[in-house]
Amino acid sequence: MHKQQVDALVIGFGKGGKTLAGFMAQKGWEVAVIEKSKQMYGGTCINIACIPSKSLSHSAEQAARRHFATFLEKQDVYQNAVEDKEQLVTFLRGANYAKLNQNPHVSVIDGMATFLSPNEVRVDLDGSDQMIIEAKHIFINTGTLPHLPPIAGLTESEHVYTSTSMMNLSQLPEELVIIGSGHIGLEFAAMYAAFGSHVTVLHRGNLFLPDHDRDIADAVKTTIEKQGIQFHLQANVLQIADRDERASITYVDQTQTRRTLTADAVLIATGRVPNTQSLDLAQAGVEVDEYGFIKVDEFLRTTAPNIWALGDINGGPQFTYISLDDFRIIRDQLFGDGQRSQLSRRNVPSSLFIYPTLSWAGLSETEARHQGYEVKVATLPAGAIPRTRQVAHTDGLLKAIVDAKTKRILGCFLFSEDSSEVINLVSIAMNAGLDYRVLRDNIFTHPSMSEGLNDLFTQIS
């Protein structure tokens, strides 16, 4: 059995891991990167998440502006969008692979990794071949997988999809049922409704967007219902069964009445689980939490002193930009002053890519009041911003929460066109500790969505 010794071993080709591998190679370290699937070079974001979903979402938004005479015309547009998405993903996957594989200090190895000790990993290669890699430093970057809830008939149905398999569906479903209304469920609901599917979302809880203030959540729900998406709250799905080339979904509603829906496709969007099954973490002394995510300290060290975990696998926010920041934390541990940590993160912006996009940073009004702040709150209809009239996207609501004593921004929620860009400005202002009046009185270009911040913060007296 072949044995290879390296300075650093990265398990998983995700955003944080690949960036770290390249940086360590620049420092002269010998690095090995293990990836079990040739379809995952570059990680989740490039191959099965952000990039392909946003590509389809962009195509869907364009499709929604057109008036099709038949569903067949919608089908053609959808198929073209899937082909465009696949071309983009293939290009980016290849570029990411080449960037590391062409580096003389990096070895990209296709195979399945299993720990033998804190410093040794066995790699099962194609066929029956194996090799052992011994490394001084090991970084786990294996990401997550879709969670499949224990619903009768789910695994047997030919019409059930996850967020991964759904994006490779070549036929646009006329009827789509989505189980789950988190980020993934809502983004797919908006996307497929825009393409022309009839979408129904089954949500087990009794509150829509439970982590948001009710005025924001209500504005979102009202807007996407106008787009033809139906919601059923407190829906407990009991069974999925295939009948007459369609799926039959049986659930109990909020009145405990048993109901049935039929659909061409069912998307399971009930969260994601850690991808650690093959690693045998116990052999390395790496502990996991009650949900199976790898335990890390604020510097992303695991319970094994020479092993770190970065990206979704460590149980932090599951965003590619957080994975990139995980890289920065580890880079600082290895080559910097060691001060950067997860505690350095403040007011991290987030976006939910529906139509329009919902973006936020900081505390909600409910959270701020619960934490004892005396707050001032401003709201502004998105339609009050001239830019929304210009692009004919007037739906939405903007909201800001300000500390009445310090005049600093505690939180901001933007349900509007281009909010994923504008929220970054607000996050920077918040992290800089700026008085809200800086944004109120700043000179922005016109017409732009950014100038809406002038009007929003003018509402604070």
| 461 has a pLDDT exceeding 90 | no
**Going by C-beta distance under 8 Å and a sequence separation of 6 or more, which residues neighbour residue 278?**
36, 112, 113, 114
What are 206-215's pLDDT values in tens digits?
999 999 999 9
Whole-angstrom Cα distance, residue 187 to residue 141? Answer: 25
Burial 104-127 (b: 16+ CB within 10 A, else e): ebbbbbebbbbbeebbbbbbeeee
Please give the full DSSP string across 139-176, using - where no structure is assigned.
Answer: EE---EEE-----BTTTT-SSEE-HHHHTT--S--SEE
* Strand duo 144-146 + 160-161: pairing: unpaired
166-183: buried (b, 16+ CB within 10 Å) or exposed (e) per residue?
bbebeebbebbbbbbbeb
CATH H-level, domain 2-144+273-344: superfamily: FAD/NAD(P)-binding domain (3.50.50.60)
Give the DSSP letter string of 47-64. Answer: HHSHHHHHHHHHHHHHHH
Least confident range of 43-47, 224-228, 345-349: 43-47
Q: Is the peptide bond before 173 cis (omega within 30 degrees of 0)?
A: no
pLDDT confidence bin for 216, thresholds 50/70/90: very high
Distance CA 182, CA 53 (A): 15
- Residue-wise pLDDT for 403-434, tens only, equals 999 999 999 999 999 999 999 999 999 999 99
d(CA 172, CA 74): 8
Examine the residue annotation and report whether 105 is marked as an active-site residue of this protein.
Answer: no
Structure tokens at 72: 């067949």
Q: In what order do the strands lie in the sheet with 175-179?
A: 160-161, 265-268, 175-179, 198-202, 230-232
Q: Which fold has domain 160-270?
A: FAD/NAD(P)-binding domain (3.50.50)
Query: CATH 3.30.390.30: which residues of the chain?
Result: 350-458
pTM, entire model: 0.95
Query: 138-165 pLDDT, tens per residue?
Result: 999 999 999 999 999 999 999 999 999 9
The secondary structure of residue 300, as a DSSP letter, is -
Which of 3.30.750.24, 1.10.940.10, 3.40.50.2300, 3.30.390.30 would CATH assign to domain 350-458?
3.30.390.30
Using alpha carbons only, give the angle 267, 396, 458 rounded to the nearest 5 degrees.
145
2, 147, 370, 446: the active-site residue: 446
> Would you state the pLDDT for residue 98?
96
- What pLDDT does 387 receive? 96
Q: Are 286 and 139 in contact (CB under 8 A)?
A: no
SS3 call for 204? coil
For residue 192, the tally of other CB atoms under 10 A from its CB is: 24
Return mean pLDDT, the chain.
96
Cβ partners under 8 Å of residue 311, min gap 6: 12, 14, 15, 16, 17, 43, 141, 142, 143, 322, 323, 326
| Mean pLDDT of the region 76-102 | 96
Look at residue 67 and tell me whether its pLDDT is greater than 90. no
Q: pLDDT at residue 103 above 80?
A: yes
Largest CA distance in the chain: 73
pLDDT value of residue 126:
80
Segments of the chain assigned to CATH 3.50.50.60: 2-144+273-344, 160-270
Give me the sign of the Cα torsion angle 284, 286, 292, 298. Answer: negative
